[in-house]
Every structure is written in structure tokens, then in C-alpha cells.
């Protein structure tokens, strides 16, 4: 099922194959926290969205948020998982950002399991599980440049404590940093498409950890290291590449890779081991006695499935279909990915429905409109369609159309009016005809050869027409005029 999309790393002593799994923590877009009615909001004043439950005050009890379950199920559906009856477990460990010094999570009976995700190139990465758990508070380290290692003391804000998370664990099917990036980007698109997440890695609403090991092709999996603190797709790639090289170096010099958690340092561009205590990770999981089973029946699952709209892969497929055989070429694939990633497929599809050719619609949407994705998403579809039709029928040249589009994105408005303001009036059909006629008369030999079948001379006449009209002529209109005259 998995086709590695990158060949194993070859180094001096022979080939090594990286084996990568990603764990993605996704904050759910609910109004309130997982187990209490405090607001789930980013950036509020510290410790203002807290209550006895999310502070873990003595005597408090958790009550599960229905929307969080719904969103978790949507994620499971979108990732082709089995949606199962599930339990919550306590994961016991001490840390100041954990109000109860245990985290309510899911252990061996998660809500979603055994799914997969399809990358744009068609390969699949397995998804082992996508379970629910509560987020921790946020710690700020004071003194020592804000890094935990040199801090003098720390400050804790519990606004984030109790925010609902879904943790998505991939199978170790990924074979390169580039593929990891594709997976993370695709997953982000899916999470946004389900409405479960806003995908803002820089705000921490989607956090990625990477498990990396290397092996000789065909061998058992090697020892893996977990890499944390990856705040962007770029860090993800750099950190994984660094770690692969580090592990290969260790093994090739006869050492063994120690299983550890490593922290990616963006400034120093390296991973470093965190000080961790051997017994720190006996989590002593046991079923959460303050919560009861979650059993999504068939009716509920069907409701959720209906609420899950088309996923990025489905949307890409729809655009491919629009393009016909051209849809599957390499360049087109990238363009299609871009359109879907920026949420502009509806814009493009509307243009096609309005009579614009699919290839043109794709080119303008992928190349120009996606330069300003937010504005493009806000564009009036009718205006966009009208503009593309003006290019298509020769009223505007490609260059002119792009200028008007830039204007349209910046200010909105009516494309015809914008074109007039730029002086991009179409040449009247009869004045163009006059120009073409004059050129034919001036170049009888070339005309005879064109009429005789030398198609490439259309370009000769088109070039001259452009010069003669100060580039106001539309190349396609000229070509059409020539063909019409030839008969």
C-alpha cells in the first residue's frame, strides 16, 4: 500500500532507509473546553478562562463536550478510520502545566483507529489512531533567554488547560522529510476541511512531533527518536533531515542510537536530547472513573459522515475531471494542488461553469489568484468569470487580463470598467480587420505561403499586427481573422 516516494539515503557505507512516523496534535475549534464550559480561545488575558474543572480544583469533575466528540468523529471519517466505542484513560505524570497532574486521554480504546490518508501523488500513509485528549496549560520560562534549560523560574497560564485535542498518530510509513511535509500539509488541509481545526501551526493549534529512525532496507525498524518543537512545515523538514543524518553518522561510526526525546533548536539548526528521567514515563494508565463510555451508534456516525464535506483529495479529483486528459500531467497536478490548498476550487469551478475553458481557469487561478489567497477567496465569482471570458474571447490579451486581475483582487469592481480605465479597450473588430488586410496586402508572398499551408506564418502576421496596433491587438483575434480570410 505504501510506495516510498524517495529513495533511501545513500552514504559512504551503503544505503540507509529513513522510517518516519508523525504525531499531530490538533486543537479542536469548539466554543468551550473538552470537559468544562470555559471558553476555548487563543490570546486572552492569562488565567481568565479557568474554572474548578479545568484548574483541577479539589472536588471538580469532568463532563464531555458533545461538539468535541462530533469533530473527533469527523476527523476519523475524513481519515477513513473505524469509529469505535471508546473510553477515557488517565495518563499520570507530574508537570506544572497539568492541573491534575494527570491528563485525561484515550489509551487502548480510542475513538478512531486504522485509517489512512492519501497524499497528492496518490501514495497512502496509514493512520494508526486519532484519539481525544485534553490540552495542558502554557508555561513561560523566565530568565535564561526564555529557554527551559537556563530558566530561573517559570510562569503558568491555564487558559489552554482542558482545550480539546485530537492526537493523530500515523503509521511509520513515511520515508523522507519531503514526504513528511506532504503528509503534514495534506493532513492540515483535511483538518481544516472538516471544520475541526483552523490549521494555524504558528498559533499552536496544530503541533507536529516526528518519530525518526533509520535502517538498512529490508531490516527490522531501528531505534527511534522523538523530535519535538516543530513549529512550521519548514522546521519539520529541516529537523527530520538533520536527525536522519545524525543517526546515520552514529550508526556508521559503530555506535547505537539511544531512544530519547529530542528538541529541535531552530536557531542552532540541530536536535538536542532533553534531560529526562528513566522512571518519568511510567504513566500508570487506568480507565478514567469520572467519565463513562462513548458509544457512537450508527445513526450518529451517519450524521457525522453527512456533515463531512469533500476532502482535499476529492476536490483535487473534481478539478482533474474538469480538465479531462490534461488533468493528470505533472504541471497540472501541482497547479491543482495549489488551487485546492488555497481554497480556490469553488472560484475556478464557477468560472468553468460560466463558460471559461478549464485550462485557462486553472492557469489564472493557480498562477495569479493564489498569490493573494485571502482576497481571492473573497472575490466576486461573477466578476472573476467575466474577466476570464474577456481573455478567452480575445477582448483582452493575457498580459492585460493579469493586470486587471491584480486590480480586481486589490479593489474589486467590474472587470470591463477596470479594463477601460487601463486603456485596455478591445480593438473594434472592423479596425482589426482593416489592419490585418493592410498587412496581407503588404506581404503577399508570406500570405500566399500561409494560405498554402505554412501555419507558422500566422505568428509572423500576429507579430506585425501587435507592432502596428501598439500591442492593442489580441493575438487570438488576429489568428481568427487570418483563418477567416483564408477560408
* 47-106 binders of another protein (CB under 8 A): 47-52, 55-69, 85, 87, 90-103
- Is 31 or 334 the residue whose CB approaches another protein more closely? 31
Tell me the number of residues near another protein by CB under 8 A.
83
Q: Which residues contact 205 (CB under 8 A, 6 or more apart)?
A: 26, 27, 42, 197, 198, 199
Cell numbers describing residue 367: 498562477
- Is 88 or 384 the residue whose CB approaches another protein more closely? 88
* Contact flags string 202-241 toward another protein, x per CB under 8 A: --------------------------x-------------
Give the whole-angstrom CA distance, residue 405 versus residue 396. Answer: 11
Q: At closest approach, how far in Å is the CB of 43 from another protein?
A: 14
Contact flag: residue 293 with another protein (CB under 8 A): yes
Give the whole-angstrom CA distance, residue 54 versus residue 35. Answer: 7
Contact 165, 25 (CB under 8 A): yes
Contact flag: residue 302 with another protein (CB under 8 A): no
Give 228's strand partners. 263
Residue from 39, 421, 467, 486 in contact with another protein (CB under 8 A):
39
Q: Which residues contact 163 (CB under 8 A, 6 or more apart)?
A: 27, 28, 33, 34, 40, 134, 135
Q: At closest approach, how far in Å is the CB of 331 from another protein?
A: 44
Give the whole-angstrom CA distance, residue 407 versus residue 403. Answer: 7
Which H/E stretch holds residue 401? Answer: helix 398-411
- Is 69 or 130 the residue whose CB approaches another protein more closely? 69
Write the DSSP symbol of residue 27. E
Which residues from 237-276 bind another protein, rule CB under 8 A? 261, 263, 274-276
- Is 96 or 459 the residue whose CB approaches another protein more closely? 96
CB atoms within 10 A of CB 445: 8
Q: At closest approach, how far in Å is the CB of 239 from another protein?
A: 16
Residue from 26, 36, 130, 418 in contact with another protein (CB under 8 A):
36
Q: At closest approach, how far in Å is the CB of 426 from another protein?
A: 55
Cell numbers describing residue 287: 480507565
* Contact flags string 153-192 toward another protein, x per CB under 8 A: xxxxxx----------------------------------
Cα Rg, the chain, nearest whole Å: 29
Q: Which residues contact 286 (CB under 8 A, 6 or more apart)?
A: 89, 90
Q: At closest approach, how far in Å is the CB of 265 from another protein?
A: 14
Contact flag: residue 431 with another protein (CB under 8 A): no
Q: At closest approach, how far in Å is the CB of 37 from another protein?
A: 3
Q: At closest approach, how far in Å is the CB of 107 from another protein?
A: 11
- Is 139 or 469 the residue whose CB approaches another protein more closely? 139
Q: At closest approach, how far in Å is the CB of 74 from another protein?
A: 14
Residue carrying C-alpha cell 536557531: 267
Nearest partner of 131 among 110, 101, 146, judged by Cα: 110
Nearest partner of 467 among 428, 436, 430, judged by Cα: 436
Q: At closest approach, how far in Å is the CB of 201 from another protein?
A: 20
- Is 85 or 309 the residue whose CB approaches another protein more closely? 85
Cell numbers describing residue 176: 523522507
Q: At closest approach, how far in Å is the CB of 262 from another protein?
A: 10
Contact flag: residue 139 with another protein (CB under 8 A): yes
Contact flag: residue 294 with another protein (CB under 8 A): yes
Q: What is the largest CA-CA distance in the chain?
A: 98
Contact flag: residue 194 with another protein (CB under 8 A): no
Which residues from 366-395 bind another protein, rule CB under 8 A? none
Contact 163, 176 (CB under 8 A): no
DSSP string, 449-477: HHHHT-TTHHHHHHHHHHHHTTT-S-HHH
Contact flag: residue 200 with another protein (CB under 8 A): no
Which H/E stretch holds residue 179? Answer: helix 177-193
Amino acid at each position: 500500500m505504501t510506495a516510498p516516494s524517495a529513495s533511501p539515503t545513500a552514504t559512504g557505507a551503503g544505503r540507509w532507509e529513513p522510517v518516519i512516523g508523525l504525531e499531530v496534535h490538533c486543537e479542536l475549534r469548539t466554543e468551550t473546553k473538552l470537559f468544562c464550559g470555559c471558553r476555548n480561545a487563543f490570546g486572552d488575558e492569562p488565567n481568565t478562562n479557568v474554572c474548578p474543572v479545568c484548574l483541577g480544583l479539589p472536588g471538580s469533575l469532568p463532563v464531555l463536550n458533545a461538539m468535541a466528540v462530533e469533530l473527533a468523529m469527523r476527523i476519523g471519517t475524513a481519515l477513513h478510520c473505524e469509529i469505535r466505542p471508546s473510553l477515557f484513560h488517565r495518563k499520570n505524570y507530574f508537570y506544572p502545566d497539568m492541573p491534575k497532574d494527570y491528563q485525561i486521554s484515550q489509551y487502548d480504546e480510542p475513538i478512531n483507529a486504522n485509517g489512512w490518508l492519501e497524499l497528492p501523488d496518490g501514495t497512502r500513509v496509514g493512520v494508526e489512531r486519532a484519539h481525544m485528549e485534553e490540552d495542558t496549560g502554557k508555561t513561560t520560562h523566565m530568565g535564561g533567554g526564555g529557554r527551559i534549560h537556563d530558566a530561573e523560574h517559570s510562569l503558568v497560564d491555564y487558559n489552554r488547560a482542558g482545550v480539546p485535542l485530537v492526537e493523530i498518530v500515523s503509521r511509520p510509513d513515511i520515508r523522507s522529510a519531503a514526504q513528511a511535509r506532504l503528509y503534514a500539509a495534506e493532513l492540515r488541509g483535511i483538518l481544516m476541511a472538516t471544520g475541526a481545526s483552523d490549521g494555524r501551526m504558528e498559533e499552536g493549534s496544530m503541533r507536529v512531533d516526528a518519530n525518526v529512525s533509520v535502517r538498512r532496507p529490508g531490516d527490522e525498524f531501528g531505534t527511534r527518536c522523538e523530535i519535538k518543537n516543530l513549529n512550521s512545515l519548514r522546521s519539520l523538514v529541516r529537523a527530520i533531515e538533520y536527525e536522519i543524518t545524525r543517526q546515520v553518522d552514529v550508526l556508521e561510526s559503530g555506535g547505537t542510537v539511544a531512544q530519547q526525546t529530542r528538541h529541535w533548536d531552530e536557531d542552532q539548526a540541530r536536535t538536542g536530547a532533553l534531560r529526562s528521567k528513566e522512571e518519568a514515563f511510567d504513566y500508570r494508565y487506568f480507565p478514567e472513573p469520572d467519565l463513562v463510555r462513548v458509544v457512537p451508534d450508527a445513526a450518529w456516525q451517519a450524521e457525522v459522515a453527512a456533515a463531512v464535506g469533500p476532502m482535499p483529495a476529492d476536490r483535487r479529483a473534481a478539478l482533474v475531471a474538469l480538465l479531462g486528459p490534461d488533468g493528470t500531467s505533472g504541471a497540472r497536478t501541482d497547479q491543482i494542488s495549489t488551487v485546492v490548498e488555497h481554497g480556490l476550487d469553488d472560484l475556478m469551478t464557477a468560472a468553468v461553469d460560466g463558460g471559461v475553458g478549464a485550462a485557462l481557469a486553472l492557469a489564472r487561478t493557480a498562477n495569479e489568484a493564489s498569490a493573494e489567497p485571502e482576497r481571492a477567496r473573497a472575490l466576486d465569482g461573477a466578476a472573476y468569470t467575466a474577466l476570464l471570458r474577456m481573455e478567452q474571447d480575445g477582448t483582452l490579451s493575457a498580459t492585460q487580463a493579469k493586470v486587471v486581475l491584480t486590480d480586481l483582487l486589490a479593489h474589486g469592481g467590474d472587470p470591463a470598467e477596470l479594463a477601460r480605465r487601463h486603456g485596455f479597450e478591445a480593438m473594434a473588430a472592423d479596425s482589426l480587420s482593416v489592419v490585418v488586410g493592410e498587412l496581407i496586402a503588404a506581404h503577399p508572398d508570406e500570405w500566399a505561403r500561409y494560405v498554402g499551408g505554412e501555419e507558422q506564418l500566422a505568428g509572423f502576421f500576429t507579430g506585425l499586427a501587435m507592432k502596428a496596433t501598439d500591442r492593442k491587438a489580441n493575438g487570438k483575434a488576429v489568428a481568427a481573422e487570418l483563418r477567416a480570410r483564408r477560408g
